[in-house]
Structure 1
Amino acid sequence: MATPIGGPPVQDIPPPGGYPKIFYKTRLGNRGPPSWAIWTGAILVVSYGFVQVGRTNTERRFWSDQKREQKLALAPLLQADEDMIWIERQKKALAEEAEIMKHVPGWKVGESVYKTNVTWIPPSVSAYKGE
């Protein structure tokens, strides 16, 4: 309700004959594809995604196998290299031990100071990295 300044209240009313009719139905556009088309499209997209995941997993497995085979092929060569390095360092360590302990009677170079029957385990190469 509108109230003019200093006058009686005036009620807002529609114009004579009423407001014009709004044709909203003619303004509505197409509602889109039917639900069966949406479901079919979604199923096709998801199926394609699963196929691609399967192909990618197969390819990834192939390259993983290739990498593992390469490592296994190189392992003997790398182990032989490490063994040669260990032998050289062991010779050097035994020569140093012989030089240091030459004045100790009864000392046997290279013999373990521990008297156990444990099988021999080569020391880690990283123990010699401090040289």
Structure 2
Amino acid sequence: MSAPQQPYVQDMPPQGGFARVQYKRNIPARGPSGAALFAGLTAIVAYGWYWNIQGIRERREIRREQTWARIHLVPMLQAEQDRHEARMLAQQEEIERKAMKDVPGWKVGEKVYHTDRYVPPTVLVADNKFLNLF
């Protein structure tokens, strides 16, 4: 004989379905997004360029001031150089006078160039051991 037949019950999902199967990694977002990083980097670079350009302008202004200061100082420096050359020429003529005192017909300070053009004087700068020869 055969066993009594029971109604066939198929195994079905619960009402509303099964829970979702988690197959992705659940990693939380850490740190700022790429767009935020790019915006921050752009802001930092822009700030750096701003100060770089300000520094360039400041150096240009300082260079301009130095140039004008030198332009205004040139007459004073030239006068100082002229006074220095006059003192050195007087000292040189005195040395020449002492050295050539025994040579007949020697003219101290006579031009050595046979021209009417201005020739800047050649100033001899010597040590004390050479100046004290006479």
Aligned to 1:92: 91
- After superposition, what is the alpha-carbon deviation per residue over 1:82-119, rounded to whole angstroms, capped at 9, x for unaligned? 21121122122113212321321332322366x67696
Query: After TM superposition, which residue ranges in structure 1, 4 or more long, deviate above 3 angstroms?
Result: 115-119, 121-124
Aligned CA RMSD, in angstroms, stands at 2.6
Residue 7 of structure 2: aligned partner: none
Quick check: 1:48 aligned with 2:47?
A: yes
> Hey, what does 2:56 align to over in structure 1?
57
Gaps of 5+ in 2: 1-24, 129-134
Tell me the TM-score normalized by structure 2: 0.61
When residues 129 and 105 of structure 1 are mapped into structure 2, their CA distance, relative to the original with a 3 A threshold, is closer
Counterpart position of 2:32: 33
Compute the TM-score of the two structures, normalised by the length of structure 1.
Answer: 0.62
Q: Name the SS of the counterpart of 1:128 in structure 2.
A: coil
Max Rg structure: 2
Indicate whether 1:128 and 2:121 are aligned: no
Q: Distance in 1 between matches of 2:79 and 2:118?
A: 21
Q: Larger deviation: 50-59 or 87-96?
A: 87-96
Instruction: Count residues with an aligned counterpart.
Output: 103
Q: Report matched runs for 1:110-125 at 5 Å.
A: 110-111=109-110, 120-123=119-122
% identical equivalent positions: 29
Which residue does 2:100 correspond to in 1? 101
2: CA distance, partners of 1:128 / 1:75: 24
Q: Greater relative contact order (Cα 8 A, min sep 6): structure 1 or 2? A: 2
1:32-53 per-residue CA deviation (whole Å, 9 max, x = no partner) reads 1111111111111111111110
Counterpart amino acid of residue 127 in structure 2? G
Q: Deviations over 1:22-66 (max 9, x none)?
A: xxx67x553211111111111111111111100111011111211
Q: Cα gap change, 1:64/1:50 in structure 2, threshold over 3 Å: closer, same or farther?
A: same
